[in-house]
Amino acid sequence: MLRRLDDRARTRHELADALRGKEVPSDVAAAVLDRFEELGLVDDADFADQWVRSRQASRGLSRRALSIELRRKGVDEETIARSTAGVSEEDELEAATRLAVTRIRAGRGVESTRLTRRVLAALARKGYSSQICWQAIRAAQRELGEEETAQEGPEEI
């Protein structure tokens, strides 16, 4: 079990699943996990905070996508809300714009409407709202000195 913690931090839920997979009795697993928490080896709140910082910075994920990932890892809703609260709308727009710039550069030569749809789809897969997607595309186009897309989309606020 400690080897799993050598790779990376894990949630209590992930470790419980691993113990269940090894057919460890539930009362023994609970005692082991309680002891891990006492020793500070398992801390879901710290895990969630680190996960949000890391994944938002490296992958540019939205609060929504981060929440989904944490939920899959067994983190409770209150901890998720606390951890993702640190990601502001400005942080999301900045990350979405970086991704949009990358995608627009990679798509040079593709017809404008088609490229816009592709970038919108990439941003949506990262969990961004349509409003953030359109703002990011417009900001990326301005940054790259390209003509803004004439497509309909939510107006910037």
pLDDT band at 157 (very low <50, low <70, confident <90, very high): very low
Contact 130, 90 (CB under 8 A): no
- State residue 153's pLDDT score: 54
Tell whether 69 and 116 lie within a shared domain.
Answer: no
Averaged pLDDT of the chain: 90
132: containing domain = 89-143
- State residue 57's pLDDT score: 85
pLDDT band at 146 (very low <50, low <70, confident <90, very high): confident
Tell whether 54 and 100 lie within a shared domain.
Answer: no
Percentage of the chain lying above the pLDDT 70 cut: 92
Residue 90's nearest CA partner among 139, 45, 154, 146 is 139
Contact 61, 101 (CB under 8 A): no
Tell whether 66 and 97 lie within a shared domain.
Answer: no
Look up residue 52 and give its two tokens.
Answer: 């949000």
Q: Is the pLDDT of residue 7 over 80?
A: no
Total structural domains within the chain: 2
Map residue 80 onto helix, strand or coil: helix
